[in-house]
């Protein structure tokens, strides 16, 4: 095969799950002419060293992109939409004392609505 035309290649985005239970995270991308080879190459570049438990391969052209700063980074002060200002640290410490736990529970044991102690 002398040459594969640039025209036939397109980017595919690769998402990988590092181990069971982890979320899918963006790993990178590969160039391939179609889904079959894109999956082969994703396997070679993001899975051949047993570093992934699962991969998703998505044609970049099929991704709906939103990066408009007017929609995502509006210029006016929106700090009132953030939960800052509610200092949780003391309340958390008191709650822990009541429950007898002196350290935060491990991440895996926390509920979905884990409190934050960042102001």
Number of residues binding to another protein, judged by CB under 8 A: 16
Q: How near is the Cβ of 21 to another protein at its closest, in Å?
A: 23
Tell me how far the alpha carbon of residue 2 is from its chain's centroid: 39
Please, which of residues 21-40 interact with another protein by CB under 8 A?
A: 30-32, 36-37, 40
- The DSSP result for 32-90, as a single string, is ESSHHHHHHHHHHHHTTTS--SEEEEEEGGGSPP---HHHHS-SS--GGGS-TT---HH
Quick one: which segment of 18-26, 41-49, 88-96, 109-117 binds another protein (CB under 8 A)? 41-49
Q: Which positions lie near another protein, rule CB under 8 A? A: 1-4, 9, 30-32, 36-37, 40-41, 43-45, 48
């Amino acid at each position: 095969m002398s040459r594969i035309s640039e025209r036939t290649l397109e980017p595919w985005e690769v998402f990988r799950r590092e181990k069971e239970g982890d979320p899918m995270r963006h790993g990178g991308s590969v160039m391939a002419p179609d889904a079959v080879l894109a999956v082969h190459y994703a396997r070679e570049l993001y899975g051949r060293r047993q570093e992934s438990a699962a991969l998703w391969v998505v044609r970049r052209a099929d991704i709906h992109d939103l990066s408009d700063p007017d929609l995502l980074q509006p210029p006016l002060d929106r700090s009132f939409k953030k939960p800052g200002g509610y200092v949780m640290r003391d309340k958390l410490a008191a709650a822990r004392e009541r429950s007898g736990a002196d350290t935060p529970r491990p991440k895996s044991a926390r509920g979905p609505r884990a409190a934050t102690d960042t102001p």
